[in-house]
Each structure stands twice: as structure tokens, then as C-alpha cells.
Structure 1
Amino acid sequence: MKRTYTYKQKTLQFFTVLMPIFITQLSIISIGFFDTIMSGHAGEQELAGVAIATNLFFPFFNSSLGIISGLTPSIAHLYGAGKKEKIRFIVQQGFYWALCLAFFFIAAGILLVNILIPVLNLEIRVNYVFTHFLIAIAFGIFPIFLSAVLRNFIDALGFTKLTMCITMCTVPINIFLNYLFIFGSWGFPAMGGIGAGIGSAITYYINLLLNVLVIITVKPFRHYLIFKNFPRPSFAEWKKQLSVGIPIGSTIFCEQSIFGAVGLLMTVYGTVVIAAHQSALNFTTMVYMIPLSISMALTILVGYELGAGRPADAKKYSRLGRLLSFVFAASIAAILINFRTEISSLYTTDVHVKYLLSVFLIYAVCMQVTDGINAPLQGTLRGYKDVKITFYLAVLSYWLIGLPFGWLLAVPFAFGPYGYWLGLIAGLLSGAVLLAFRLKKVEKEY
């Protein structure tokens, strides 16, 4: 990255950082996408089991990666200020607490699943796929958390194309492994939806291996000597890093867990509704990668400019990112509304699931537009390291406004599953309004 002076230069640098991040995030999320879509073609119950499992898994998974992403603004600030000697120490300490986070993630997952199994009251096969998919994918938690530390280190230095190439390499591997384990081939047994969890776990190990190879062989990363002379764990540094990371991860959890909560509430409407709802969320998650990538690019660029003592340039990047995010979201929404029937056919051949999915995708259009406003505001505030208030606003908008409003529409007003979708939209919209006010205040303080 380098200093820019005009909006033309800023736009060019913005896209230079953005596009690799977008492809990287799309590749990361495509693992869950292909797990769901390939399982759907193995049967309705396989789709429902994997969909419920991913709906429970990924909010916690992504929020944990969000905690690790707190390394990005910290490293970007140091890189912008020219304090490169401190970066190695931060990354090494990140390894330590990321491993602790992975252990906690798995332990909490075991406890939560055991509590939920009797509550969900799923069909026998759906419950079997649900539990065993989670067991399989859990074996990949440790490597993917360590990979996240390295990915944030590479991204914070502005080399987002490298992480893009690494992650893109893992996507076809994941698809191939899913094919082997889901449908059975080359002597492997057909394991249905459970095979998707096995394929994903193996893919996470391959992702770690590729990241390590880049760090030890490619300039300028090999000069940081990340894997040599590890210091003792510094709990003071852990506290400093987690003070940024935990609010980021908690904010992501508040946003994504509301989708998980709604998914669990949808189970009372039967397998067809579950399959259609989770498939709609699965696809909108893919589309969300556009505003999310813009958000991550803003965190890097705003953090870099603030670290270099250029708050005026940080504000310009913020305005540019918000404008582009809204334009992209509106464009994708237009495509989504016109091709929802074709999109539904990707997930299932079941007539009932396909019809309901096409209806849910209409609501997803509204979500995409609000996400296009919400996400860049979050990314900019993270660049300012203003993360605690952002977390509180997320709790307010998603859990105190969105979910209760959705329940009121779904149950007392008898809107059914559609009421919960309207609640999700209300939560995202209220969050966007609150974040806009917060950013305006933060920018005035600089």
C-alpha cells in the first residue's frame, strides 16, 4: 500500500485491496455453500441435516474468525506507522491465543449440541446427519484458526492477492473431497451429508499448509521470521489484542447468530421450510461476501491511513467504500429478484422446497440492500478501532429489535416463517442507522 492523493488513486488502490479479499472470502464461504448444495442433491433429509448444522456452526465459527481478525487493524496501524519490528511479536502471540480459542470453540460446541438435540426434536436421519457433520468438521478447527492468523498478517500488509490465491486453491479440493465422501467414489463409501463435514475438515488442513509455505518462502513475509524464536506467551499482549478482537467477533456473532436463532425457530414448521429457509440463507451468505469484503478492505485502508496520521484520507476511503457497497448491493439485488427460480433449482429438485425457496429469496433481496449499507460502516469503525460501541449497537439492533419484532410477526400476528424474515430485515436496517450516527461522531473526534 502507498499514500494516495486523488479519488482516482484511492479508487484504484481500494479495488487493488478489495478484489483479492472478495475472491478470498467467496472461496472461504463457498466451502459451506458447496457442503449444503451438494448435500441437497443427496436427499431432502441430508440437506436439512447439513443446513441446520451449518446454521449453528458458522455463526460461532465466523465470530471466532472475527476475533482473530482484530489482528488486521493492529498490524495495519503498525505497518502504516513504520513499526515493522513489532509485527512479528503480535503474530506469534496471535498463534497462542488462537489455539486457546480453538479449544474453547470445540468444548463449547460439544456442550451446546448436547443441549440442543432434545430441544430440536429432529427426524432420526436429520438428527444423525446434523450431529455427525459437526463432529467431522470440528477436526478442522485448529488448523483453520491458525490459518486465520496468517491470513490476517498477509492482508494487513496489503498483499491480499496472496490470500486470494491460497484460498482459491482449496475450493476445487473441497468440491472434489465432498464428491468422494458424499456420493461415494474410488472405493470411498457414500456418507451423505456427513461426508461434507469430512471434506471440509481436510480442506482446512490443506489451507494451513499453503499459508505456512507462503510465509516461509515468499518476500516480504519470510523476512519477518514468524516461525523462529517464539517468545513466551504474553498475557498483557493477549489482553491488548483481544480488547480489539473480542468486540469484533461479538459483533459478528450478534449479527450471524440471529440467523441461527431464526433457523432454529423455523424447525417448528417442518423439514420443507427448514430446507428452503437454510438454502436461502446459504445463498444470501454467498452474496453478502461483496459488502463484507468492502468492509474488510475499509478496515485495512482506514487503519493504514490513521496509523500514518492522515485522518482526512481515512474519511475519503470511508465515503468511497460506502458508495460502492450500496451500488453493488443494489445491482446484486436486481439480479437476485429476476433469477430466483433458477437459483432455487441449484439447491433441490423437490417441487415444494423449490417454490418456498424462491419466495424466501424475495425477502433476501431486501436483506442485501441493508447489508450493503451496514457492512462498510462496521469496517470503517474497526479501522478506527472503535469496536466496543459497535458491539453494543449490534446487540440492540439484532437482539432487542430484530428478533423480537420477527417473533411478534411470526407468532402473534401469524405471519409464520415470513415474519422472521421481516424481523431480520428490521434488525439489519436499524443497525445501519445506528452505525451511521456512530461513525459521524467518531470522525468528528479525529
Structure 2
Amino acid sequence: MSVPGVAAPAPLRQHLGETLSLAAPVMVARAGVLVMVVVDTVMTGLAASDELAFYAIATAPFTLLMLLGIGLMTGVVVLVAQAAGAGRSAECGAIWRMGVLDGLILGGLGALLLLPAEGMLRALGQSEALAVHGGEVTRMFAIGLPAVLMHTATAFFLEGIRRPHVNIAVMVLANLVNALLNYGLIYGELGLPAMGGAGAALATSIARWFMFLALLVYAWRMQGAEGFGVRGGSGGGLALQRRLLALGLPVAAAQGLETAAFQMLTIFGGWLGTTQLAAYQALNNLIALVYMLTLGLSTATAVRVGGAVGRNAPIDARRAAWIGVAAGAGIMLLLGPVLLLFRETIAQGYTNDPHVLLLMAPAMALLAPVIIVDCTQGVLAGALRGGSDVWIPTTLYVTGFWVVQVPVAWLCAFRLDLGVPGLLLGILAGCTVASLLLGTRLHLVARSGRLVAAG
């Protein structure tokens, strides 16, 4: 029997099909973002292990600010999905334009904060070589920070209106641009200066500006742009900004806390030594690449939950949430054995330094369980975000990543003298606790009907 004003629930098979069909292009697009970093890591590592260490330490301050900004952009995809689901398509363009403006401002401020990176790295106890050369790499990364955030706002807008496919084509082209520029700027080919890790970061920054500009042109000229309010209409003003911040601030806090915890492990890697840091960077890069699949599922789950609450379908919202979580865990269970089976080949793809390979070998066995719990906590967070439940999950992130992950990683790496594998054990512990806490939270809010549209 249907309840007046409440949409009838869709079958489970339909939920799974819609989640995977939406997640697939988002996964590819998100993976495309990190493929640039993978290419940077591989090409820099093949140049010299020291250059890979300089590149790795530079990611600590840059990635923290980048993901804080991306977290603030999250309100774009949630509000666009909810507006589209409720039949208010004309509001979507105003949400997007506000997001792009926020990205420009936040990216510019973040880039300024990264300029004195050398001093920051010294203050974090890094060696003189890591501080000097890592600071140079960080400044090259800073050039692309505004582009990353504006591209993210635009990609979120397109995902919210279920047009994510164009971002795949943009990613393919951007990765070709990045690889070509890497060849020139890392090794000094094509008439360009040999800059090592700094050249890899500069190439990626240029490619990120290309990504934003390409999506901007598409969004402005796409079919139906007028109906989505892309080129004008109500701007929403301060009321819209408050709604974006209400969703984005807690997500930024959660992502910032999570990222800071992961980057703290990078700092620990620097304390272990240059070779150990290079090994950890390769392993962490592989985990991050797999996590791009998680981000695709997390975004798809947030969009589907947001769309369900927008059309007042609580049962669909609950089913969309748990099916997204189950799909993520299932994919990682299939992928884990593949990483284990080909671990030596994968490691050799990152570096030809025998000392780095020796350090990576024992840690590779931990990748399978790490990616399963990491994916689970990521999709759970997306499901809660789609239902506008954001502040309490933020406190759960603090528990999982700072109360558990960082201390366990430090204890295992230094006190138990496990080195690089100890850092991965910290990640495993933190993500496991975060998954349990977020899963409990989703069960409680979904059962009580508190997955709701953003106010």
C-alpha cells in the first residue's frame, strides 16, 4: 500500500543497475584524475628515487588543501541532485556558478598558503634536502590548485544532472597532455628543462587547467543548458552560499581530518628516510588509485540517495545507500586478489630501484584488506552525505583516523620497528574502525527515516 506523498520504492535490481551505471563513468573520471599522479609517480620514480621522495613529501601540504577544497565543493553535487530530483532543474546552474566562484577563491588562497612550503617542511622535521626540493615541487603544484577546485565544481554539477560521461573524454585528453609534458619537464626532453619531481608537478598543474577549461566550455554550450539555468537566472545569493557551506564545511572537515591523517603518515615516511618515503609513496599512490573507484561509487550513492530524498522516497533512499555500500565492498573483494597476484609486477612498474622494491615487497600483501575497508568507509560517507547527515560522521572520522590510524601507524612503524608495512597497518586499523562507526550511523539514520533533503 502506498503512502500519500511518498514515492513507491523501486526494485533492488533497479537500484543496483542505476547505481553502477551512474558510478561507472564517475569511477573512470575519478580514476583519470589520479592517473596523472600515477604517471607522475612512475615517471619520477624511474628518473631517480630521490626525486620520487621530493615529489612524495610535496603531496603532504598540497593534497591536504586540495581535498579540503574538494570537500567544500561537495554541496554542489548534493544540491544539484536534490534540485534535479525534485524537478527544479533551473536551480542547478546557480548552484554550479556559485561552486565555481568558491573554487576560484579557495584555490587562490590555498595557492598562496603553499608558497612558503619549504619552511613548513622544515618545521615538520624533514631533512634539508626534502624541505628544499619538496618545497619547489609544492610551489609547482600550487599553480593548479584553483583549476582543481573549479573543475571539481563543474564535474559535480554534471554528475548531479547525470551527465558525467563528458568528463571521461576530458580526462583522457588531460592525461595525454600530462604524460607528454612529464616527458619533457622531468627528463629535459622536447627542448624543455629537466626539473625532476618539480617538472612532474608543473605538468600536472597545466593539465588541470586544461581539464577545467574543457568542462567549462562543455557546460556552457551543452544541450539543455538554458533549462538547467547555466547561463543565467536566479543566483541564489547568500542563502545558496549558506546551503553549500552547510553541506560542504562538515565534508571538508571530514576529508581534511582524513587527509591530514594520511599525510601525517607521509611525514612519518620522511622520518623513516628518503628510500622508505619513496616506497611508501608508491604504495600510497596505488591505494589512492583504487580509492578513485570508491569515489565514483560514493558520488553515485550520494546522487541516488539525494535524488530519492528529493522526491520523498525514504525506502529508495535506504536501499540506494546500502546497495552502494555492498557494490563497493564486492568490487574490492574481486580486485584485492588481483593486486596480490601481480604485486611484484605492479611494484616494478613504479621503480627500478632495488632498495625501494625490497621495502615495498612485504607491504604489498596488506593492500587487499586495506582497499576493502577503505572503500567501505568511503561509500558509507557518501550515502550519509546524500541524506544530508554530515556533522556526526565528521566526528566519527576523527575517531577512526586520528584516535586510531595515526597512533597505530606510529607505534607499528617506529616502536615495533615495522617501517613501511607499519604505516599500512595503521591505515588498515583506522579504516576498519571508521567503517564500523559509519555503518552503525547509516543503519540508525536510515531506519529512523532521518535521511532528508538539505534545508
What range describes the TM-score normalised by the shorter chain of this pair?
over 0.9
- In structure 1, distance between residues paired with 2:417 and 2:50: 27
Q: Which amino acid aligns with 2:157?
A: F
- AA matched with 1:197: A
1:97 CA displacement? 2.2
2:23 aligned with 1:18? yes
CA distance in 2, matches of 1:17, 1:136: 34
Hey, what does 2:186 align to over in structure 1?
182
Q: Where does residue 377 of structure 1 map in the other structure?
A: 380
**Residues 286-301 of structure 1: pairs in structure 2 closer than 5 A:** 286-301=289-304
Aligned match of 1:95: 100
Find the counterpart in structure 2 of residue 251 from structure 1: 254
Q: Contact conserved, 1:277 with 1:360, CA < 8 A, in 2?
A: no
The Cα shift of 1:222 comes to 4.8
Name the counterpart of 1:264: 267
CA distance in 1, matches of 2:231, 2:119: 38
Question: Paired residue for 2:148?
Answer: 144
Q: 1:316-353: per-residue Cα shift (whole Å, max 9, x none)? A: 22222122111111111111111111111011111110
Residue of structure 1 in register with 2:111 after alignment: 106
Contact 1:216–1:222 (CA under 8 A) maintained in structure 2: no
Deviation, structure 1 residue 118 = 4.7
Pair 1:423-2:426 in alignment: yes
Q: Distance in 2 between matches of 1:34 and 1:240?
A: 37
SS in structure 2 opposite 1:226?
Answer: coil
8 Å Cα contact 2:91-2:234 kept in structure 1? no
Aligned to 2:90: 85
Read off the aligned partner of 2:155 and give its amino acid letter. Answer: R
Distance 2:167 2:225 in 1: 13
TM-score w.r.t. the length of structure 1 is: 0.94
Segment of structure 1 superposing worse, 185-194 or 103-112 = 103-112
Structure 2: distance between partners of 1:425 and 1:119: 24
**What displacement does 1:225 show?**
4.8
How far apart, in 1, do the equivalents of 2:372 and 2:334 lie?
9
- Asked whether the equivalents of residues 276 and 354 of structure 1 are also in contact (C-alpha less than 8 Å), the reply is yes
Query: CA 1:190/1:230 → structure 2, altered by over 3 Å: closer, same or farther?
Result: farther
The within-5 A match list for 1:22-33 is 22-33=27-38
One-letter identity of the residue aligned with 2:196: G
> For 1:308 and 1:229, how far apart are their aligned partners in 2?
23
The letter of the residue matching 1:97 is: D
Counterpart AA for 2:222? V
Asked if structure 1 preserves the Cα contact closer than 8 Å seen for 2:62 and 2:142, the reply is no
Counterpart contact for 2:118–2:131, Cα < 8 Å: no
- 3-state secondary structure, aligned to 2:122: helix
Task: Indicate which of 29, 40, 43 corresponds to 1:38.
Answer: 43
- 1:143-184 deviations in whole A, cap 9, x for unaligned? 222222111111100111122222222111111111111112
Contact 2:44 2:197 in 1 (8 A): yes
In structure 2, the gaps of 5 or more residues are: 1-6, 450-455
Query: Which of 310, 315, 324 is 1:312 aligned to?
Result: 315
CA separation in 2, counterparts of 1:276 and 1:75?
40
TM-aligned CA deviation for residue 358 of structure 1: 2.1
Match of 2:166 in 1: 162
Which residue in the other structure is 1:129 paired with?
A: 133
C-alpha distance in 2, partners of 1:415/1:219? 56
Please give the alpha-carbon distance, in whole angstroms, between the structure 2 residues aligned to 1:172 and 1:308.
Answer: 41
Which segment is superposed worse, 148-157 or 85-94? 85-94
- The residue identity in structure 1 corresponding to 2:101 is Y
Q: Which deviates further from its counterpart, 23-32 or 109-118?
A: 109-118
**CA gap 1:82/1:409 in 2 versus in 1, 3 angstroms:** same
Offset of residue 62 of structure 1:
2.2
CA distance in 2, matches of 1:341, 1:127: 31
The alignment's TM-score, normalised by the length of structure 2, stands at 0.92
Partner of 1:282: 285
Once the 2 structures are TM-superposed, how far is the Cα of residue 102 of structure 1 from its aligned partner?
Answer: 1.2
Alignment partner of 1:340 is 2:343: yes
Cα 1:49–1:28, aligned 2, differ >3 Å: closer, same or farther?
A: same
Deviations 1:207-233 (A, max 9, x none): 1121121112211235435344785x9
How much is the aligned-residue C-alpha RMSD, in angstroms? 2.1
Structure 2 CA distance for aligned equivalents of residues 415 and 186 of structure 1? 43
SS in 1 for 2:415: coil
Q: Give the direction of change, closer, same or farther, for the CA distance of 1:413–1:358 in structure 2 (3 Å limit).
A: closer
Alignment of 1:363-402 (within 5 A): 363-402=366-405
The change in CA–CA distance for 1:258 and 1:208 in structure 2 (over 3 A counts) is same
2:222 paired residue number: 218
CA distance in 2, matches of 1:119, 1:46: 19
Unaligned runs of 5+ in 1: none
Task: Specify whether residues 269 and 299 from structure 1 end up closer, same or farther in structure 2 by C-alpha distance, changes over 3 A only.
Answer: same
Of the structure 1 ranges 150-159 and 358-367, higher mean CA displacement relative to structure 2 is found in 358-367
Query: Aligned residue pairs: how many?
Result: 443
CA–CA distance in structure 1, aligned partners of residues 50 and 390 of structure 2: 40
Kept in 2, the 8 Å contact 1:216–1:225? The answer is no
